[in-house]
Chains A and B, each alone.
Chain A
């Protein structure tokens, strides 16, 4: 599983990145913009997958990590006037720190209790955003000023509101996270995570401090989600409490399950699929939620391992 065909796996991932790069030049404007957004949110899904897919920890509170990045970056720009890279780093730091604290507490539980505890912490986080409305804008949220969303690289300054710059920024973030994820899951550490998912007790008896490993996974996962949130704030210019609501905790779960849990490309596929189902069906009918619901049930009935998971199971066993 791990030693087999590393070249194939890397080639596939680089191919996907190259494809996304090429698409930037041929996609119609609308799909170009949509794909940029999907890539950013796919990073959110990848972060979620890190914990859910590989460690088997089902969190219902990942919206808090996303919004930690969102607010960390957004508020740093709005209130402190930080530059884009500094704000992005602030978002990451907020996510990592929050993940560390939440991890230490929530990992005392497992299974359903873990789901509920993470959901409740996320709810607390959401309410805190509402409570400090004077700084966060509460439920209305805040606009990150367009003038501040400029990335200065040496002598050139790139406006993140430019569609191409935005697409490429999203692609860079997506590619880095995708490759990091690939490296992690193929690493010794990734093997330990999967072992914990499969049988935590046994893993302990092989000399692994499973708590620390899980905690590290929560932090990695939270940081990746925060990266997505920070990028969202800086690229799309809005921070709002909706992104901290329980709905945004369920979305990455859906994306990952659809694409295939514990597959590196599944989160992208799932996000892409879900976005286009909503986008297309919302054109046919205002009752598109109905179609989304039916699609979900059909998928889970006939592709229970998600799209890539099913493909891996039936045809391409080497998929990471």
Chain B
């Protein structure tokens, strides 16, 4: 099977700092992949490169067999790469409905889905359990609901690759359980790339784990494999309880 996403020698420098340094990465369709690593390891920079929010200094990115290195972010979204922000950035002054209607109408325009904006948006809200809050301004939702809305927006984009940047950050335990269910649900139709600090969540969800350290891939493998890896223990797991 051909990988959905590959990167070759992907690098990004900020001034003298090599935030991402020659990363070769491959992601198979249908996978749930977790990216872990200590703070400053380059995880967020890496997914930002993949989503097109920042441009690489060198290297290339291939999505579904096509070179997307020079595509602007919005074009990548239209190809099916959706990105949910680490810091919640829903449109606070717009209603939850409008927040979701935006991605829905996008997919309609692109011809990637059919039907009406209203139905599509409500479906995404139903799926995340926000339907009854559709007409509340997003800024007035609780933090947990805002995170869910963020996911709903990602879902509404009908992604083939959904990038979730620390989705459980700030969520209560009960919310996290719901969330794990939701991601599994999503993974039935899409490939998921997940940056996560919460190790139990990672271990429960991920098919494979990629460990970043200092801008490079330190290790990659199944959760069991990673758990057993001494280097990873050293660099990362050992420092967390």
* Chain A contact residues, CB within 8 Å of chain B: 1-4, 188, 191-192, 194-195, 198-199, 201-210
Q: Does B83 contact A (CB under 8 A)?
A: yes
Whether A210 contacts B74 by the Cβ 8 Å rule is: yes
B72 touches A209 (CB 8 A): yes
Residue pair B106, A206 in contact (C-beta under 8 Å): yes
Residues of B within 8 A of A203 (CB): 102
The distance from the CB of B106 to the nearest CB of chain A, in whole angstroms, is 4
Q: Is the CB of B83 within 8 A of A191?
A: no
Query: Is B92 in the interface zone, CB < 8 Å from A?
Result: yes
* B interface residues with partner A (beta carbon < 8 Å): 51, 53, 72-75, 77-78, 82-83, 85, 89-95, 97-98, 101-103, 105-107, 109-110, 117-118, 135, 153, 157
Q: Report whether A207 and B78 are in contact in the complex, using a CB–CB cutoff of 8 Å.
A: yes
Closest CB in chain B relative to A259 CB, distance in Å: 19
Q: Is the CB of B97 within 8 A of A206?
A: no
Given contacts A205-B83, A208-B74, contact A195 B91 (CB under 8 A): yes
Number of A-B contacts (CB under 8 A): 76
> In the complex, A201→B97 CA distance in Å?
19
Q: A3-B118, A4-B135, A195-B94 are in contact. Are A208 and B106 (CB under 8 A)?
A: yes
- What are 8 A-B contacts defined by CB distance under 8 Å? A188-B105, A202-B90, A205-B83, A205-B85, A207-B106, A207-B110, A208-B102, A210-B74
A191 to B153, CA, bound (A): 15
Contact B106 A191 (CB under 8 A): no
Interfacial chain A residues near B103, Cβ < 8 Å: 206-207
Interface pair A1/B98, CB less than 8 Å apart: yes
Closest 7 CB pairs of A and B: A207-B77, A207-B106, A188-B105, A198-B91, A207-B78, A206-B103, A209-B74
Tell me if A204 and B91 are in contact (CB < 8 A). Answer: no
- The answer to whether B91 and A202 touch across the interface, beta carbons within 8 angstroms, is yes
Q: Given A191-B102, A206-B103, 16 more contacts at CB 8 Å?
A: A1-B95, A1-B135, A2-B101, A3-B97, A192-B102, A194-B94, A194-B98, A195-B91, A201-B53, A201-B89, A204-B73, A205-B53, A205-B74, A206-B157, A207-B103, A209-B74
User: Shortest CB–CB separation between residue A184 and chain B, in angstroms?
Assistant: 14
